[in-house]
Amino acid sequence: MYQITARGPRRSIETAWDTLAWIDPSPASAVDAKEDTRLTWRLAAYADTKTEAEACVALINQVAPELNPVLEALPDRNWVTLSLEGLPPVHAGRFIVAGSHALTTTSPGKTAILIEAGPAFGTGHHGTTLGCLLGYEYVLRSGVPSQVLDVGTGSGVLAIAAIKTGAKRAIGTEIDADSVRVANENAVKNDIGTRFKTYLTRGAGSHIIQSAAPYDLIFANILARPLIGLAPSLNQVLAKGGHVVLSGLLTHQEPLVRAAYTGRGLSLIKRIRRDGWSTLVLRKAA
């Protein structure tokens, strides 16, 4: 495993992140960008081989030569899991997300969600997952949704939160087979039976998703471009008066994503910003 890091102005970091995230195929197996200080942002990318890592460096140098990326070989260990082990519990409104090592010390009255360290995205520590949980907390003021769709469910944390607060059924979608397995395992660990299940599928056009529509609530914590592309299909399967919680977008990407949904009759009712990331809560007219 190889790590590529770079620090610099927000615009340069976002340019590099956008390139590594969207080139197909990408030499990076994972990439993230976040605010490091008030004036500096940090890029972190990971590659499985040295050739792929060098390709990442070459791409960064091509699109943002001022960044001077640093390539480092990591010992042969499961860094995704190791980096998550021992993380403190995440508190988001009524929810607390933690591994079994920490749930024993949870606060009384909290809705506990058990998410162990693993490769699927969604432990609550990232600004997007935290934003979605806080956004869902806001949605609950209008009532508990019955049918829930979680696009790009990752660990399943958002759908599990919905089930644990009264939703009757939740469907998760993933394009990554490992995440499908982890999400379904987390459903079992959280004792929610068959009310939540994740399927390997892309977009919202599959028979499984269409057959369970309309949905009172849709989570989509992915990336800005897919969020824009999914706007028509998500709006189609969203019930009248239903809510959409969108995240995975950087703050400067808000206007384009918001326009894609408000242009289809949805109204922005809440915006949450954490660590340079935004979460948008929208409602469809009743």
Provide φ and ψ at 42, rounded to 5°. -125, 135
This model's pTM is above 0.75: no
Place of tokens 């590659």: 47
pLDDT computed for residue 117 by the predictor: 57
pLDDT computed for residue 80 by the predictor: 47
Return the closest-CA partner of residue 97 out of 126, 73, 55, 119.
126
Question: For residues 187 and 195, what is the distance between their CA atoms, to the nearest angstrom?
Answer: 8
Average model confidence (pLDDT) for the chain?
A: 85
Q: Which CATH number does 122-284 carry?
A: 3.40.50.150
pLDDT computed for residue 115 by the predictor: 77
pLDDT computed for residue 106 by the predictor: 52
CB atoms within 10 A of CB 274: 18
Question: For residues 114 and 193, what is the distance between their CA atoms, to the nearest angstrom?
Answer: 14
Contact 206, 237 (CB under 8 A): no
Residues 20-25: what's their mean pLDDT?
A: 82
Contact 111, 164 (CB under 8 A): yes
The model's confidence at residue 267, banded by pLDDT at 50, 70 and 90, is very high
pLDDT at residue 176 is higher than 70: yes
pLDDT at residue 79 is higher than 50: no
Same fold, 2-76 and 122-284: no
Poorest-pLDDT segment among 52-66, 90-104, 227-241: 90-104
The DSSP secondary structure of 166-178, one letter per residue, reads T-SEEEEEES-HH
| For the chain, domain boundaries | 2-76, 122-284
pLDDT at residue 133 is higher than 60: yes
Question: For residues 279 and 246, what is the distance between their CA atoms, to the nearest angstrom?
Answer: 6
Question: For residues 15 and 82, what is the distance between their CA atoms, to the nearest angstrom?
Answer: 29
Using one digit for the tens of pLDDT, what is the confidence trace for 221-255? 988 889 999 999 999 999 999 999 999 888 889 99
pLDDT at residue 118 is higher than 70: no
Percent of the chain whose pLDDT exceeds 90? 52
Poorest-pLDDT segment among 47-56, 110-119, 208-217, 260-269: 110-119
Contact 150, 170 (CB under 8 A): yes
pLDDT at residue 84 is higher than 60: no
pLDDT at residue 139 is higher than 50: yes
CATH class of 2-76: alpha beta
pLDDT computed for residue 119 by the predictor: 43
